Amino acid sequence: MTSAVTIPRHGGTGGRTAVAARARQVVKAYGSGETRVVALDQVDVDIARGQFTAIMGPSGSGKSTLMHCLAGLDTVTSGQIYLDETEITGLKDKKLTQLRRDRIGFIFQAFNLLPTLNAIENITLPMDIAGRKPNKGWLDQVVETVGLADRLKHRPSQLSGGQQQRVAVARALAARPEIIFGDEPTGNLDSRAGAEVLGFLRRSVDELGQTIVIVTHDPVAASYSDRVLYLADGRIVDEMYQPTADQVLDRMKDFDARGRTS
């Protein structure tokens, strides 16, 4: 069995552990008996702090499920998931909601923004519902970095797809979460807009020390990461550090071939 557990080491930001999130023996199964489908099969994984991790795998490999479980959006059948030192498996909805609000950021593939709120309101929404004041300096910096300063009063419907995703990224960053999860964040964008968003995510890791995990099937998107995890049939079957798009593509072709011959 392959696992993607790295030996914990101290360092990185603020004296915290180097692992931002980890999964231990996580099983996610749907149905029971004959119709039981296992989406995650005893997965162990560590997400390194301050790194950009990409999860890849064919459709139905369980990559989205893994991300949802790590992010506290979905419950697991068995096993534990920790965010930093907090075990989130078994948390009640209320605590879990607070945790998502205060410690996690999200970027989805589409429909990231509330259509009734303008860009800046969308960006500060997590802090607003938490009743916290956003840090003005930081907010300005984030807005500046994503290049939305002149679009803050626009409603989502008045923004292009790429701009909408950048607002989503800004929202995820603005609350300074411990970890940002992206579910195919560039899936709906053309390559130029996608590159813009990915470049921005990369910069936030490099310059701001942000931890980011994305699920993608796009080798180009994966090439922006520090580490790629490959999932198949609910298990982690491989990983790759400092990937390039070509390497990722080759590896995926391998899996495809193996899948077909076995």
Partner 1 sequence: MTVLKTSMRNFFAHKGRMALSAVAVLLSVAFVCGTLVFTDTMNTTFDKLFAATSSDVTVSPKTAKSDSTPQNGRPDSLPASVLERAEKAEGVKYAEGAVSSMNVTVVNSANKNMGSSTGAPTIAGNWTRNDLRSMEITSGHAPRGPTETMVDADTADKHHLKLGDELRTIAVTGDFKARIVGIATFKVTNPGAAVVYFDTATAQRELLGTTGRFTNINLSAATGVTNDTLKQNVISSIGAGAYKVQTQKEYSDENRSGVGSFMNVIKYAMLGFAGIAFLVGIFLIINTFSMLVAQRTREIGLMRAIGSSRKQVNRSVLVEATLLGVFGSILGVGAGVGLAIGLMKLMSAAGMDLSTRDLTVKATTPVIGLVLGVVVTVLAAYLPARRAGKVSPMAALRDAGTPADGKAGLVRGIIGLVLTGAGTFALFTAAHADKATDGSLVLGAGVVLTLIGFVIIGPLLAGGVVRVISAVLLRFFGPVGRMAERNALRNPRRTGATGAALMIGLALVACLSVVGSSMVASATDELDKSVGTDFIIQGNQRIVPQAAKAIETTPGLEHVTHYRDIEAKLTTPDGFSDSDGVTAADPTYAQDLHRKTTAGELTAAYGRDSMSVGSEFATKHHVKLGDTLTVAFKGGSTAKLKVAAITDDDVVIDQGARYLSTQTMRKYLPANRIPPDQIMFASAKSGQEKQAYAALKKSMEQYPQYQVRDQSDYKQELKDQIGQLLNMVYGLLALAIVVAVLGVINTLALSVVERTREIGLMRAIGMSRRQLRRMIRLESVVIALFGALLGLGLGMGWGATAQKLLALEGLKVLEIPWPTIIGVFIGSAFVGLFAALIPAFRAGRMNVLNAIATD
SS3 per residue for the chain: CCCECCCCCECCCCCCECEEEEEEEEEEEECCHHHCEEEEEEEEEEEECCCEEEEECCCCCCHHHHHHHHCCCCCCCEEEEEECCEECCCCCHHHHHHHHHHHEEEECCCCCCCCCCCHHHHHHHHHHHHCCCCCHHHHHHHHHHHCCHHHCCCCHHHCCHHHHHHHHHHHHHHCCCCEEEEECCCCCCCHHHHHHHHHHHHHHHHHHCCCEEEECCCHHHHCCCCEEEEEECCEEEEEEECCCHHHHHHHHHHHHHHHHHC
94 binds partner 1 (CB under 8 A): yes
183 binds partner 1 (CB under 8 A): yes
Could you say which residues in the range 108-147 bind partner 1, by CB under 8 A? Answer: 108-112, 114-117, 121, 125-126, 128-131
Site string (51-80) toward partner 1, x via CB under 8 A: -----------------x--x-xx------
Count, residues near partner 1 per rule CB under 8 A: 34
Site string (204-243) toward partner 1, x via CB under 8 A: ----------------------------------------
The least CB distance from residue 108 to partner 1, in Å, is 5
Residues that bind partner 1 (CB under 8 A): 68, 71, 73-74, 93-94, 97-98, 100-102, 104-106, 108-112, 114-117, 121, 125-126, 128-131, 171, 183-184, 187
